[in-house]
Amino acid sequence: MPAPPLTARGLHKRYGETTALDGFDLEVEAGAVHALLGPNGAGKSTAVGVFATLTRCDAGEVRVAGHDVRRDAVAVRAAIGLVGQGTALDEVLHGRENLVMFGRLHGMARQAARERADELLEAFGLADAADRKVSTYSGGMRRRLDIAAGLIRRPALLFLDEPTTGLDPRARNEVWQAVREIVAAGTTVLLTTQYLDEADQLADRVTVIDHGRVVAEGSPGGLKRRMGGDRVLVTAPLGVDVEALASSLGGVAEPGLRQVVVEAGPEGGAAAVTAVVRALDTEGVVVDDILLRRPTLDEVFLSLTGTGPTTEAGVPVPGASRPAELHPATEGGRS
Amino acid sequence: MTAVAATLRQSWIITLRDLKHWQREPWTPVFSVLFSVMLVLMFGYLLGGAITIPGGGDYLPYLLPGIFALSMMFGIEATMTAVANDTKKGVTDRFRALPISGAAVPLGRAGADLLNSAVELTVLLVGGVLIGWRATGGVGGTLLAVALLLWFRFAMLVIGVFLGLTIRGEGGVTAVQVLVWPAGFLSNAFVAPESMPAWLGLVAEWSPLSATAAACRQLFGNPTGASGGFVADNAVLLAVLWPAVLVAVFTPLTARAYRRLAR
């Protein structure tokens, strides 16, 4: 059996007074997207730096594709692709020239590096821009080229450190699409993100990190299940007694919102909606809206770390600390 | 492929990348040459009439070897800025995450900067000949002078890489850009140290820049502006030793700065 792409045990790293990693463990399985989810300063980038041999940890052991990051750094570097925060590309060189240079530095012959570069430019939709300076690229194009550069030598493990931070929604979708294609082609990806919907969209497995420690781990679905089941939200029109409606539907009234919240049973949200519709039909009540509400990773995150999700600038999203039911942004958060 | 051959191959790939920068954005090296030309015009023609060289001789042939050496010293800025930009933008980290020799990145930089300086020096030498400067020290002396200038540039390169790796933020870059001026004037590049107050003249006489400039004046057969003394008698030796000392001091410091990126 081949060595797992990455195992980390008991990582500790201090920067002066600040503890960046505090007994951090991680195991990444082959062929999957593993998301490292946490707020700013949680230790995500420090962890990636240690995994990619850029940062020495104070204690702990990391093996990447079976190689120890300290004793066998060169073998680790040959097995990984690193796409760091911000785009680490040569702005003056053309897109193709960047890829060829990184390929040649990986030991590829000139011709092989060119062929691989063209292949990646095509795959990432950059063929038309291949012979332009990177400084003329849009944010999304740069990020895709950055990811392509990380893939030049078909790494066993690709690190993507906050790949969509600072991108507009369209560019973010382009990057997500690129990540899905990478995984479909068989590369294991370790992704760090502070965006919950990003982990939800891309990851097979999520490790939630805060203050340098693992606070939760599991599949996105599993983490959400920890937060309880689905809910059906029924909005009653004016003139309907919300309390009475709540008792007939077996839910809880929110009179201020003219809303009834029905917790779904173990059979799930769809069954709960069916039951609510049947009950409404029997009662002969016409309602304004019926909404099936699944717990989002935002809620999981909030309950695990005590911090709300943050915007790109690191300031809390307005209203993020309000109850999730009152927060329409989490509802539309998936795009 | 042996480790040395592999390192050289990797260095060359990085040198080609750095050279491509000058090909794509030629204004940086062009301005660097124009700047030296401007100094020649300012000091040679505007101020030079008021400057006399101790021991006699014209000012222009005294000035030009000083400008050659000074332009090598100013190369420290180009090296530092390029290294600092790569570090800031994460390009250095990307190189560090590649399975290449740790020496390849600075060696590649050194190759590109030395080639750039060699071209700049050629332009300045030809320009000097056009305005009447002559090297009368013979082919051997002239070649040795050019070699000493590039050797001095190499020492500046090592310091430039060190500063580029350690200086953070625009303030540090600006500070170096300002400080090269007093360092340039506190030398024999523009005027003879004998014309300065004694203690200041002593400092200026012993500067590494002065050593290279004085050696070049001797080897090119230009006025030296010095009437003897240890420094004047051993200018070529000092022009060999000074850069060697700087390289010996700053190479381990640079290696340490590179390793400290992993902190």
Query: Average pLDDT for residues B137-160, to the nearest whole number?
Result: 95
Domains of chain A, residue spans: 6-224, 232-293
**Mutate: best of A45, A92, A108, partner B, most B CBs <10 A:** A92
Rounded Cα distance, B81 and B163, in Å: 9
* B201 CA to centre of own chain: 22
Query: In angstroms, what separates the C-alpha of B38 from chain A's closest C-alpha?
Result: 28
| Sheet-wide strand order for A6-15 | A18-28, A6-15, A59-64, A67-68
CB distance from A87 to chain B under 8 Å? yes
Query: Average pLDDT for residues B92-98, to the nearest whole number?
Result: 92
pLDDT at B153: 97
A107, B99: Cβ pair inside 8 Å?
yes
What is the percentage of chain B residues whose pLDDT exceeds 70?
Answer: 100
| B129-145 pLDDT per residue, tens | 999 899 998 899 999 99
A55, B262: Cβ pair inside 8 Å?
yes
pLDDT at B14 over 90: yes
A55, B99: Cβ pair inside 8 Å?
no
B10, A105: Cβ pair inside 8 Å?
yes
| A8-45 pLDDT per residue, tens | 999 999 998 899 999 999 999 999 999 999 888 889 99
Cα–Cα distances in angstroms (integers) from residue A17 to residues A13, A14, A20, A40, A268, in the given order? 11, 7, 10, 17, 47
pLDDT greater at residue A329 or residue B183: B183
pLDDT at A307: 60
End-to-end CA distance of chain A: 39
| A150-191 pLDDT per residue, tens | 999 889 999 999 999 888 898 889 889 989 988 988 899 999
Residue B238 token pair: 């000092």
pLDDT at B209 over 80: yes
A324 confidence band (pLDDT: 50, 70, 90): very low
pLDDT at A94 over 50: yes
Among residues A203, A210, A237, A165, which one has the least CA distance to residue A39?
Answer: A210
Among residues B200, B179, B180, which one has the least CA distance to residue B188?
Answer: B200
**Mutate: best of A87, A98, A105, partner B, most B CBs <10 A:** A105
Q: Class of the A6-224 domain?
A: alpha beta
Query: Average pLDDT for residues A42-55, to the nearest whole number?
Result: 94
Query: In angstroms, what separates the C-alpha of B181 from chain A's closest C-alpha?
Result: 30
Q: Which amino acid is at B234?
A: N
Among residues B147, B106, B119, B90, which one has the least CA distance to residue B15?
Answer: B106
pLDDT at B1: 61
Residue B71 token pair: 């332009």
Three-state SS string over chain B comes to CCHHHHHHHHHHHHHHHHHHHHHHCCHHHHHHHHHHHHHHHHHHHHHHHHCCCCCCCCHHHHHHHHHHHHHHHHHHHHHHHHHHHHHHHCHHHHHHCCCCCCCHHHHHHHHHHHHHHHHHHHHHHHHHHHCCCCCCCHHHHHHHHHHHHHHHHHHHHHHHHHHHHHCCHHHHHHHHHHHHHHHHHCCCCCCCHHHCCHHHHHHHHCCHHHHHHHHHHHHHCCCCCCCCCHHHHCHHHHHHHHHHHHHHHHHHHHHHHHHHCCC
Rounded Cα distance, A18 and A45, in Å: 14
Report, in angstroms and rounded to the nearest whole number, the Rg of chain A calculated over CA atoms. Answer: 24
Closest chain B residue by Cα to residue A20 = B263
Query: In angstroms, what separates the C-alpha of B82 from chain A's closest C-alpha?
Result: 11
Kindly report which listed range (A131-140, A240-249, B115-124) carries the lowest average pLDDT score. Answer: A240-249
Do B175 and B200 contact (CB within 8 A), yes or no? no
pLDDT winner (highest mean) among A37-51, A108-122, A300-314: A108-122
Q: B174 burial class (0-12, 13-18, 19+ CB within 10 angstroms)? A: exposed
Return the residue matching tokens 């539309």: A332
Query: Average pLDDT for residues B254-263, to the nearest whole number?
Result: 89
pLDDT at B80: 94
Rounded Cα distance, B212 and A79, in Å: 47
* B158 CA to centre of own chain: 10
Query: Which range of residues forms the domain containing residue B19?
Result: 3-260
Helix (H) / strand (E) containing A113: helix A110-123
B163 confidence band (pLDDT: 50, 70, 90): very high
- For residue A162, report the phi and psi dihedrals to the nearest 5 degrees: 45, 65
A320 confidence band (pLDDT: 50, 70, 90): very low
Cα–Cα distances in angstroms (integers) from residue A48 to residues A8, A192, B90, B169, in the given order? 11, 8, 14, 24
Kindly report which listed range (A62-66, A303-307, B41-45) carries the lowest average pLDDT score. Answer: A303-307
B67 confidence band (pLDDT: 50, 70, 90): very high
CB distance from A92 to chain B under 8 Å? yes
Among residues A179, A325, A105, A117, which one has the least CA distance to residue B107?
Answer: A105
Helix (H) / strand (E) containing A81: strand A80-83
Rounded Cα distance, A66 and A75, in Å: 9
| A257-300 pLDDT per residue, tens | 888 888 887 777 888 889 899 988 888 888 888 988 877 767 77
Provide the domain count of chain B: 1
pLDDT at A313 over 70: no
B94, A82: Cβ pair inside 8 Å?
yes
pLDDT at A242: 87
pLDDT at A53 over 90: yes
pLDDT at A330 over 50: no
For strands A205-210 and A289-293, give the pairing: unpaired
Rounded Cα distance, B220 and B243, in Å: 20
Kindly report which listed range (A57-61, A218-222, B60-64, B153-157) carries the lowest average pLDDT score. Answer: A218-222
Rounded Cα distance, A316 and A313, in Å: 9
Query: Average pLDDT for residues A240-245, to the nearest whole number?
Result: 87
